[in-house]
Structure 1
Amino acid sequence: MKLLITGAGGMVGKNLLENPDLSRYEILRPTRAELNLGSREQVESYLDKHRPDFVIHAAGRVGGIQANIKNPVAFLVENVDINRNLIASCHNVGIKKMINLGSSCMYPRNAENPLKESMVLQGELEPTNEGYALAKIMAQRLCQYIMKEDPSFQYKTLIPCNLYGRFDHFDPVNSHLIPAVVRKVDEAKKTGATQVEIWGDGEARREFMYAGDLADCIAAGIRKFDSLPALMNVGLGIDYSVNEYYKAVADVIGYKGGFTHDLTKPVGMKRKLVATEIAQTWGWKSQTSLRQGIEKTYEYYLNLPQ
C-alpha cells in the first residue's frame, strides 16, 4: 500500500515514521519544497501523479498560546487553505481512504469535561486559539460531508489531546506547554536560578499525551481502518494541573528551586480533558506514563544542537 503523510517533517509525522508498523508500506513524505499544500494546483497535480492509496493528514501551522494570540489570521487562513486543498483534492482525484488529524481545541471552551466527540460545534470556542480551531472544525466537517455524499470515500478524523515528545519545538515563543517547561526548567538548573515563572495560578488542567502514542494509534487505525470510528478522540483520559506538569519536569531534570506565578498572563481554558470511551471500545489505549514521556522528551532536548 502506498501511504502519503502530510506534515511528515513535524512532530507527529516524525513520530509516525519511527513507528515499526509503517515499514510495511511504501511511504510518500514530501517536504514543503516538494509540495506546497497552500497551492490547490500543486496538491492536485501531486496526488494525480503519485496516486497514494491512503492519506494521513498531519500538516498544518501549529504553535502554542503565544503564537496563536499573536498570529490569528495566519493560523486561520493557512490552515483552512491547507485542509481544503488536501481534502478536496483527494476527493477529486479519487483517493478513498484518509485519516485526518483534528485537535481538542475544536471543543467549546465551557463544555463539560470530559469532552465527547458529539460536543463539536456545541458552543463558543476558546478565543486564544479560535482561528486554529475553526480550521480544524472545517476540515472535520468537510471529511464528514464527503462521506455523507459518497460512502465509498472514508475520510475519518482523530482528535488528539495536547501532545509533546521527541521532535517537539522548544522555542519559548512557538512551543506548547511541556517543551516550554522543559527548556525553562533546564535553563534554571544550569544557571542556578532559584525561581521559575508559571503563567497564571497554575491550576488550569491539561491532558498531554506522548506523541509516540498518537503514532501508535494512527498505525492501528491504518491496520484496522474499516472498524475505526469516523470521529474519535485520542487521549489519556486523565489530566494534570499546570503546576503538576512543572513539578514533574523538575523531578525528571533534577531542578531543586521554587516557582512563582504571573497572574497577569493568559492561561486559556481552565480544563481540557477528552473522553476516551470510544477509543477504548475500539480497542486502543495510551501506554506511555507522564514520567516516561518527559524522560524521552528531555533526552531528545539534551541532544539537540545548542
Structure 2
Amino acid sequence: MKVLLTGGRGMVGRAIQDHPGAAAHRIVAPTSTELDLTDRTAVMKFVSEAAPDIVIHAAGRVGGIQANMANPAAFLAENMDMGFNVVLAARETGVPSLLNLGSSCMYPHDAPNPLHEESLGKGELEPTNEGYGLAKVAVARLCAFISRERDDLAYKTLIPCNLYGLNDKFDPAISHLVPAIIRKVHEAKESSAETVEIWGDGTARREFMFSGDLADGVWAAVEGFDALPARMNIGLGYDYSINEYYAETARVIGWEGAFVHDLSRPTGMKQKLLDVSAQKDFGWEARTSLAEGIAQTYAHFQDLLERGAA
C-alpha cells in the first residue's frame, strides 16, 4: 500500500519507518519543512496529490509534565489543528483508511484503572496535561464521526500508553519521564554525584512501552485493519512506580548513589494503566522488557552525546 505517515521525524515516526513491516509498503513521510500540518490548505493539497491508501497520523507537539504545564494553549491548539487538518483532508480526498495515534492522556483523571476504552469522554482530564489530552480526544471523536457518516471510510484510533525509546528527546525542559531519568542518572554518574532528585514521592505508577514495540503494533494494525476495533488501547497491561523506573535506570547505567524526593513538586496521576483486553483479542502484545528498552535507549543517548546532538 501507499502509506502517508505524519510525524515521520519524531520518535514514533522513525520507529514506524525503521520497523521491518515498513518494507512491504511505499511510505510518504513529509518533514515539517516540506509540509506544515497546521496549514489546512497545504495539507489538503498534499494529501490530494499523494493519494495514499492509508494515513498513519503520528505527528504532534509532545513533551513532559513541565512542558505541558507551561504551554497548555499551544499543546491544545497545535495538536488539534494538525489532527483536524490531516483527518479532514483524508475525508475530503477519499482516503479509505486512517490510523490515528491518540494518547493515554485522553482518559479522565479519575477513571478506574486499568483504563478501559469505554471510559473515554466520561470525566475531566488530568490538569497537568489537559491541553494535549483535549486535542487528542477531539481528533479521535472526529475520526469516529466520519466513520459513522461514511460507510466507505474507516478512520480508527490507537491509544498508546506512555512511550520512550530511540530518537526520544533528552532535553530536561521538554522530555518525558524515561529519557529525563536516563539523562539525570547519566549526569550523576559522570559527575560522581551522590544523589538524584525525584519529583514527588515516586509512588505514582506509569506504563511506559518501548517505541519499537508501538511500531510493531502499528504495522500489525495496518495489516489487520479490518479486524481492528474503532478505538483500541495499545500498551503493556502492567506498570511500574516512578521509583522503580529510577532504580532500573540506575542499574542499567551503573550508578550506585541514592535518590531523594522533592515533595513540593507535583506527582501527577497516581496511576495510568491501560486495559489491554481488546489488544489481546486483536492478537498483539509488546515484547521488549524494561531493562532491554532502557539499555537500547541509553546506548542511543550515548551516541547522541558523542556526536554532540544531545
TM bucket normalised to smaller: over 0.9
**Residue 217 in 1 paired to residue 217 in 2?**
yes
Partner of residue 31, structure 1: 31
Partner of residue 116, structure 2: 116
Partner of residue 286, structure 1: 286
Partner of residue 74, structure 1: 74
- CA-to-partner distance for each residue in 1:3-34, whole Å, 9 max, x for gaps? 01000000000001110111111110100111
1:151 positional shift: 2.2
Give the Cα–Cα distance (whole angstroms) in 2 for the partners of residues 178 and 9 of structure 1. Answer: 20
Give the Cα–Cα distance (whole angstroms) in 1 for the partners of residues 111 and 228 of structure 2. Answer: 25
* Structure 2 residue ranges without an equivalent (≥5): none
What SS does the aligned partner of 1:303 have? Answer: helix
TM-score (norm 2): 0.98
What SS does the aligned partner of 2:222 have? Answer: helix
Give the Cα–Cα distance (whole angstroms) in 2 for the partners of residues 248 and 215 of structure 1. Answer: 24
Give the Cα–Cα distance (whole angstroms) in 1 for the partners of residues 132 and 151 of structure 2. Answer: 28
Aligned length: 306
The code of the aligned residue for 1:190 comes to: E
Partner of residue 185, structure 2: 185
- CA-to-partner distance for each residue in 1:232-254, whole Å, 9 max, x for gaps? 00010000000000000000000
- CA-to-partner distance for each residue in 1:159-190, whole Å, 9 max, x for gaps? 00000000100000100000000000000000
Give the Cα–Cα distance (whole angstroms) in 1 for the partners of residues 80 and 87 of structure 2. Answer: 11
Partner of residue 251, structure 2: 251
Runs of 4+ in structure 1 deviating by more than 2 angstroms, as ranges, are none
Partner of residue 174, structure 1: 174
What SS does the aligned partner of 1:268 have? Answer: coil
Partner of residue 136, structure 2: 136
**After the TM superposition, which of the residue ranges 147-156 and 7-16 deviates more from structure 2?**
147-156
TM-score (norm 1): 0.99
What SS does the aligned partner of 1:152 have? Answer: coil
Partner of residue 62, structure 1: 62
* Structure 1 residue ranges without an equivalent (≥5): none
What SS does the aligned partner of 2:63 have? Answer: coil
The code of the aligned residue for 1:240 comes to: Y
**Residue 261 in 1 paired to residue 261 in 2?**
yes
1:50 positional shift: 1.2
Give the Cα–Cα distance (whole angstroms) in 1 for the partners of residues 78 and 109 of structure 2. Answer: 23
The code of the aligned residue for 2:238 comes to: I
The code of the aligned residue for 2:139 comes to: A
What SS does the aligned partner of 1:36 have? Answer: coil
Identical amino acids, percent of aligned pairs: 54
Structural RMSD (CA): 0.6
Partner of residue 41, structure 2: 41
The code of the aligned residue for 1:27 comes to: I
Partner of residue 198, structure 1: 198
**Residue 227 in 1 paired to residue 227 in 2?**
yes
